């Protein structure tokens, strides 16, 4: 089944990336935002992690996934996410804790321009699996070109 999922996802591109506005429950005591799998985001949640204390000028990510879907949320502060489908690029500026950037498989991502105190939460559809990563941009471009030939 994983092979079939990879074939389907190979055909995704930047038009499938989007900001998802998460539910925001306002209260005088403070706001609350929730994320529910298959309700607010289009996948089951298997892993959550966060980036923080990122030094000024540092870049994170610099990879693509073969199967994993992801939602990135600026829990605090702000940062930029540049997405690349092998044909074109687009940039998103995340700075609201109730907005998440949905990234389907086969999209290269770079994260930079972290503000002081920024926290990036990543919600992932898969457990960690090193074989799911394209860590070299040239390998990613070769996979995209091969998918284009199918």
Catalytic residues: 63
Q: Residue 115, SS3?
A: coil
Proportion of the chain in helix, strand, coil states, percent, rounded to 5: 20, 40, 45
- The radius of gyration of the chain's CA atoms, rounded to the nearest angstrom, is 16
- CB burial readout 39-72, b (16+ within 10 A) else e: ebbebebeeeeebeebeeeeebbeebbbbbbbbb
Between CA 128 and CA 46 the distance in angstroms is 9
Overall residue count recorded for the chain in this entry: 150
Do 122 and 48 form a contact (C-beta atoms < 8 A)? yes
């Amino acid at each position: 089944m994983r092979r079939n999922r990879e074939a389907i996802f190979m055909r995704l591109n930047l038009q499938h990336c989007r900001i998802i506005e998460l539910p925001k429950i306002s209260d005088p005591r403070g706001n609350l935002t929730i994320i529910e799998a298959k309700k607010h985001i289009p996948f089951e949640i298997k892993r959550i992690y966060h980036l923080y204390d990122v030094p000024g000028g540092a870049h994170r990510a610099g990879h693509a996934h073969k199967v994993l879907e992801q939602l990135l949320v600026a829990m605090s502060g702000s940062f930029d996410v540049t997405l690349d489908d092998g044909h074109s690029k687009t940039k998103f500026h995340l700075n609201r804790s109730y907005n998440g950037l949905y990234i389907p498989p086969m999209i290269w991502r770079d994260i930079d321009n972290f503000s002081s105190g920024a926290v990036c939460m990543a919600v992932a559809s898969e457990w960690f699996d090193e074989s799911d990563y394209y860590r070299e941009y040239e390998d990613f471009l070769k996979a995209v070109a091969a998918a284009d030939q199918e």
